[in-house]
Amino acid sequence: MTKKLGLVLGSGAARGWAHIGALKALDEIGVKPDVIAGCSVGALVGGAHLIGALDEFESWARMLKPVSALQRFTLKVHRGGFIDTSPAFEAFRSYDKKIEDLPVKFVAVAADLATGEEIAITKGSVIDAARASSAIPVVFHAVRMDERWLVDGALANPAPVSQARKLGADVVISVDLNAVPRVLDRFDPPPPSVPAVLPHDDPAPESVTGAVAKLIDDTRTAIERQFELAKARANAQPHLFETAYAAADIFQMQLARARSKSEPPDLLIKPDMRDAMPTAFDRADEFIEEGYRSLMAQRAEIERLLSA
């Protein structure tokens, strides 16, 4: 019996460009998922792939600049948020399909704003499902669907392995963008030891005296920089959005870890996104490459799981 592969694409805002790389890697090794379960940006990328819009979506992502992503949105305080994402989604409406008509089983996870319940969207418009799944609370407008107000599925199930199993997946690969969390290292205590001597570009000294003088000079520079770093950290205060990003990362990381203990995937792909701000929409090139690299590194294990 051929094993059915389930691919889980987790939440992560702009870091979700890594999912494009993961899908490209799977395609390169000739593995096609039978089920795709997406949450938030994972639902967006997975949905774009299934309706045939991924190439255009990727091209758009690679052209984005730090603020140009917002040009697709409309600022309007309404429905619990201040950004209306509908213009961006409508730009891809011509590609839209019904989930039940897709060649691959697909589920987008959202959260019911009234009850906190996890909502698995398995019918209707792919674009509408992706929009509901990625409606970040307070930031993006909530989406009305089946008499419910839906928001970002990361509040309920950031990496929906359980939903992939429900749709019949025998082997589940989960691409978790929160497995390696962002670290606000400027708030870390300074390291207790003096760092190694910094590299120097000057030519090698001609004498022992010159070598000693160079060592003293480099060590002094390293110590001074360490004191400056310690002082900066001691005086640092979290910024509003910086704190919000960190809180969202911590929440999603802890929730994903808790759920993975009771609902583990067969293989966890962990792109290293620790230095990636959720709003870094202009870094598609490197995020796509990281997603590709992370999945290709597990190629042998994927092939083993599907052939065992």
Burial class (CB in 10 A: 0-12, 13-18, 19+), 169: buried
How far is residue 132 from each of residues 127, 162, 171, 279, measured CA to CA in Å? 9, 19, 27, 19
Would residue 266 show up in a list of annotated catalytic residues for this protein? no
CA 122 – CA 115 distance, rounded (Å): 19
- Cβ partners under 8 Å of residue 262, min gap 6: none
Q: Which of 290, 284, 295, 278 is nearest to 40 (CA)?
A: 278
Q: Which of 144, 146, 152 is nearest to 108 (CA)?
A: 152
Would residue 152 show up in a list of annotated catalytic residues for this protein? yes
CA 176 – CA 42 distance, rounded (Å): 9
Catalytic residue among 34, 128, 152, 249: 152
How far is residue 94 from each of residues 42, 98, 106, 143, 256, measured CA to CA in Å? 20, 12, 19, 20, 34
Beta strand pairing status for 105-112 and 35-39? parallel
The amino acid at residue 295 is: L
- Cβ partners under 8 Å of residue 212, min gap 6: none
Catalytic residue among 40, 125, 134, 294: 40
Instruction: Using the structure block, give the residue that is written with the tokens 């993975």.
Output: 260
Catalytic residues: 40, 152
